[in-house]
Chains A and B, each alone.
Chain A
């Protein structure tokens, strides 16, 4: 399988895993920071929303490092596209285009719903794939094990329903 991005071949999984571990450990060793991306959504919300939840010290004090890191994620994706064949806006969505086939408006609605569940769910769970799945598991934290099992199981069930029942993939 190749990436949707210019049909590029993916990095070897072991290399990618080591790279992600390197970033995680560098954050801790250089700056005493625990990897976690989803709290960055709260940091952005805290710039605009007055709810007491967003005025907490944990949120406000994290903005100084999480917001630059989030900007880096966008930049990393941009550089990957530029170096991998050029940057251009695209609606390409791989197997969604093949099996579901909705146009731009449908995709925006679909993605908004996915984002809504992701934003609410990660913050209710207290972390996402990075904070619970990578750092929390690596630090042997029970809440992270429980959360990771929960989101992996729910993801498996949801995708199985979408691509094996509702929009079955032909020939797979």
Chain B
């Protein structure tokens, strides 16, 4: 299975690299409303994925016959606060999490700094979780904020 995940990640990374989703200028163009590209990509991805997920849930089993169960993400104040922080970070770096890794692969040296920042940021969130839990009404530690 490891090879399957590696292969799917590679395909995903190639598409992100060649579509503009991992390109600083296309991300700024999206936020400046001067480029349609990223809006088109996200809209098509969601509109094709939605009926696909519905069909897979109807089927109820994976190809290998194991049950399909999707863990839903919890609702909490971190959705807004964290979302706003992420939006600021996405604008500054011009990369969201997947594209940080894609840009490293492409040879963009500065993407290593974004990666280091992201690990420090995730490390801080995890270390401060018990403190942040009450102000942001976060779920119990073993549930977390939501996987993905």
Contact = CB atoms under 8 A, between A and B. Distances in A.
Task: Report whether over half of chain B's contact residues are helix, strand or loop; otherwise say mixed.
Answer: helix
Interface residues of B, number: 126
A125 B145 contact: yes
Contact of B144 (A27, A40, A126): A126
B25 A115 contact: no
B139 to A, nearest CB: 9
A86 to B, nearest CB: 9
A134 B49 contact: yes
Task: Report whether over half of chain A's contact residues are helix, strand or loop; otherwise say mixed.
Answer: helix
Given A74-B102, A77-B101, A114 B79 contact: no
Interface residues of A, number: 134
A113 to B, nearest CB: 6
Interface of B: 1-50, 52-53, 56, 62-64, 66-76, 78-98, 100-111, 113-127, 129, 132, 136, 141-148
Given A17-B42, A126-B78, 19 more contacts: A3-B23, A21-B48, A27-B8, A58-B144, A59-B144, A71-B9, A76-B12, A81-B106, A111-B111, A111-B113, A118-B100, A122-B97, A128-B86, A133-B42, A136-B148, A151-B83, A159-B28, A159-B91, A172-B34
Q: For the complex of A and B, list the 9 residue pairs with the smallest distance between their C-beta atoms, beginning with the closest.
A: A72-B9, A36-B148, A76-B13, A115-B117, A17-B44, A119-B121, A126-B146, A131-B148, A154-B87
